[in-house]
């Protein structure tokens, strides 16, 4: 059938492939893959993680390309400077920002993975879980952006409340490492 009508195979491919989707995948600790995206630049997207026990913000990374024209302003249509920033804040206070800059969208397209590590910020619950808010922002101009922009770190949900009981015999106990002296000290923490 395709020998007699070769255009039929091309029409079927065009019909079923659909329009090309372009976006910047936004990721971070505790964020399901593909759930948070930016479909155009500029953008500002937030995602909240309720009931968190611990969150560590270590930095950001980005890489991408564009499927269409890189922009509609600036030299040779490159759209001027292209900035990506991420902000992490919590219900217990504190906010930390990381920012990556590209010369223009073409630089974003062609550069290898850019990673910015920051002095890590550790947010931890004490008596009740905390809420963590992550915000990704992009300034500049990009037509049909395609790539990824990630917040780097760790996320732990609040652990279940311990149940049951722990019993010790009455009296003094010495804790020692195997084969060493003097006795050591044990500290029990919930982390």
State whether residue 59 is helix, strand or coil: strand
CATH number belonging to domain 30-157? 2.60.120
Measured in degrees and rounded to the nearest 5, phi and psi for residue 108 equal -60, -40
Task: Indicate the domain borders of the chain.
Answer: 30-157
Which one, of 56, 62, 65, 42, lies nearest residue 96 by Cα?
56
Give the angle subtended at the CA of 129 by the CAs of 134 and 50, to the nearest 5°. 40
Cis peptide before 42 (omega within 30 of 0): yes
Give the tokens for residue 20: 């090309």
Cis peptide before 63 (omega within 30 of 0): no
Q: What is the mean pLDDT of residues 73-98?
A: 75
Residue 190 has pLDDT above 70, yes or no: no
Residue 77 has pLDDT above 60, yes or no: no
pLDDT in tens, 34-72: 899 988 888 899 999 998 999 999 999 998 876 544 544
Residue 150 has pLDDT above 90, yes or no: yes
Query: How high does pLDDT run on average in the chain?
Result: 75
């Amino acid at each position: 059938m395709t020998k007699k009508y070769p255009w039929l195979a091309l029409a079927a491919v065009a019909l079923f492939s659909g329009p090309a989707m372009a976006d910047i995948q936004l990721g971070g600790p505790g964020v399901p893959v593909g759930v948070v995206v930016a479909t155009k630049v500029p953008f500002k997207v937030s995602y909240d993680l309720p009931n968190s026990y611990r969150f560590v913000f270590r930095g950001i990374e980005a890489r991408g390309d564009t499927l269409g024209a890189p922009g509609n302003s600036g030299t040779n249509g490159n759209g001027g400077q292209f900035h990506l920033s991420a902000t992490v804040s919590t219900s217990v206070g504190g906010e930390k920002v990381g920012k990556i800059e590209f010369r223009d969208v073409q630089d974003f397209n062609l550069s290898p993975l850019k990673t910015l590590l920051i002095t890590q910020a550790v947010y931890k619950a004490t008596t009740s879980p905390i809420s963590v808010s992550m915000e990704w922002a992009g300034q500049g101009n990009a037509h049909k952006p395609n790539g990824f922009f990630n917040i780097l770190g760790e996320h732990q949900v609040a652990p279940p409340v311990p149940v049951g009981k722990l019993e010790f015999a009455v009296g003094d106990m010495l804790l020692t490492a195997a084969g060493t002296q003097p006795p050591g000290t044990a500290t029990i923490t919930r982390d």
